Chains A and B, each alone.
Chain A
């Protein structure tokens, strides 16, 4: 697995692929999808697909791929090695969603949540397999969100393919286990060798599991909190763990889509109180009204300054 395309620029999303085995273009194939690194506040989320001819399912089972969570790191690496050796009939593709991609998606003006991001990534990967000429007949997916809805969405998107969405699919279907191993191995390697684009000097890499409830991760987040910039791009800013820490420890930053409510916001936006429409007009003329700045200046947000 060559991670260099992602390491060259780890702020964006990146796709890594194996060669497409020739048999996959001619025989009916099954495909498994799984992800790694959904929960951590640190590092990327990796989506993996694995595919092989339906006829080779048994061979895959014999290679003892299993849910990646039940395996040690070493076992996972070994299994990935095996999968790579079986490249005559097993293919894989990975989509690495950088923490920066996750942050900017979830925090942009029109919110793009993690489930939508996951679904779209999965769809893109299936589409990639189809575009590469893989004869897909069956797709097995570990669910994100309600399984039935997801299954319906995928079936609609890919008519003619038999889509099965199940929770814990990675322990039920060997092809999903294989995908989960690919994803997990890629995530482990990326996190271990993370290239910090920020100039942090000697970075303390002892950040634990990366999960929000890990005390080591929390300590690391506190240590690398910059009052102005927050965190390095390695951190998912959209995670509430990161946000709460920034809210309490970092400088407050205001954005113009911050939701403000109540009288103060109304006042700031120069809204008239509803009550003012019912009261009698005060006075008659606008004679006493203060000087009204010409629209040339108001349109350009230009104001006179009375002091520096």
Chain B
């Protein structure tokens, strides 16, 4: 019965369950409301949803907790969309970085508003009004000041140092939150005895690198891994043994187990399982005068005698 149920497509709904700090919706200081904007996701190069606080002073990313079979009861309303949206502060530099890298290939110093431009995502220029954005550009670019104007050029070296600081802070946060980072640990609810911290240092570093790679492009992520001095992990596919059959020895093949014990008398067969209704009714049929199936296959003795 349940198998027949079909999930109807999630229709447009106009309410969501969102977890956000009060400061996100605090519009007292500025006249504009906080707005959701679609911007280029630096890791996927596709569109992702972000939120700009009022006055575009703070950038937030939007993540959704999404699992099958969830719905909300909100007040007197059922919301079919069981997602829980998180609006969390984000460093706008991550989103500005891809544009700087792109223009960095030209090798010129440029005013930043000429760099952060995107036909597909015109809202990206608003990133520059974030309080942290312009002031922290020196973390990822070299600066030149000519008159009152500032010019920037992407610097891989500065970016690496900036990312390294980020990773160090992530490691601190991971330890503080007791997040299990080891390869073997699957469940975060499974509490295991503390392992030697030195062994885990690399695990933490790799985990933090993985987390930061969610916010930078793949090429940068690889370069950064090298910068951290961590070897690239080989994919498990390559380490798999060849699927060829191997001959272990030239000795004749012998049975590994003794099956003759099943031939002894005390090895009783299990009684047959319950018969189906059809089998039962067949069993009740009057079989007197019927030939057995095998009789049809044995030579016809009588016929030959005649």
Contact = CB atoms under 8 A, between A and B. Distances in A.
Interface of A: 228, 243, 247, 252, 254-256, 258-262, 268, 286, 290-291, 293-297, 299-308
A301 B78 contact: no
B47 A306 contact: yes
B44 interface: yes
A286 B49 contact: no
A33 to B, nearest CB: 29
Contacts of A308: 16, 36, 49
Given A254-B69, A256-B69, A304 B48 contact: yes
Contact of A295 (B46, B85, B210): B210
| Residue among A247, A262, A297, A305 having the largest count of chain B Cβ atoms under 10 Å | A305
B61 to A, nearest CB: 8
Contacts of B49: 304-308
Contact of B7 (A254, A259, A305): A254
Contacts, number: 80
A294 B2 contact: no
Contacts of B68: 254, 256, 268
B65 A301 contact: yes
Contact of B63 (A286, A295, A302): A302
Contacts of A304: 41, 44, 48-49, 61-64
Nearest to B36: A308
Contacts of A256: 68-69
24 contacts: A228-B78, A252-B5, A252-B6, A254-B69, A256-B69, A258-B2, A258-B3, A259-B2, A261-B3, A286-B235, A290-B44, A291-B44, A291-B218, A293-B214, A295-B210, A297-B214, A300-B65, A303-B66, A304-B44, A304-B48, A305-B49, A306-B46, A306-B47, A308-B16
A193 B92 CA distance: 65
Contacts of A243: 1
B2 A260 contact: yes
A119 to B, nearest CB: 21
B193 to A, nearest CB: 21
Contacts of A306: 38, 46-49
Nearest to B41: A304
Chain A interface helix/strand/loop/mixed: loop
B86 interface: yes
A254 to B, nearest CB: 6
A300 B49 CA distance: 19
Contacts of A300: 65
A269 to B, nearest CB: 10
A268 B85 CA distance: 22
A252 B47 CA distance: 33
Nearest to A255: B69
A302 B214 contact: no
Interface in B1-47: 1-3, 5-8, 16, 36, 38, 41, 43-44, 46-47
A175 to B, nearest CB: 36
B211 A305 contact: no
Contacts of A254: 5, 7, 68-69
Contacts of B62: 304-305
The 3 A-B pairs of least Cβ separation, nearest first, read A258-B2, A256-B69, A305-B49
B106 interface: no
Given A301-B65, A305-B48, A296 B38 contact: no
A297 B7 CA distance: 26
A65 to B, nearest CB: 40
B207 interface: yes
A302 B207 contact: no
A261 B1 CA distance: 11
Contacts of A247: 1
B67 interface: yes
A295 B233 CA distance: 15
Nearest to B188: A299
Contact of A294 (B7, B188, B214, B218): B214
B69 A297 contact: no
Given A301-B66, A304-B49, 13 more contacts: A252-B5, A252-B8, A254-B7, A258-B5, A259-B2, A295-B210, A296-B211, A301-B67, A302-B66, A303-B66, A305-B48, A305-B85, A307-B38
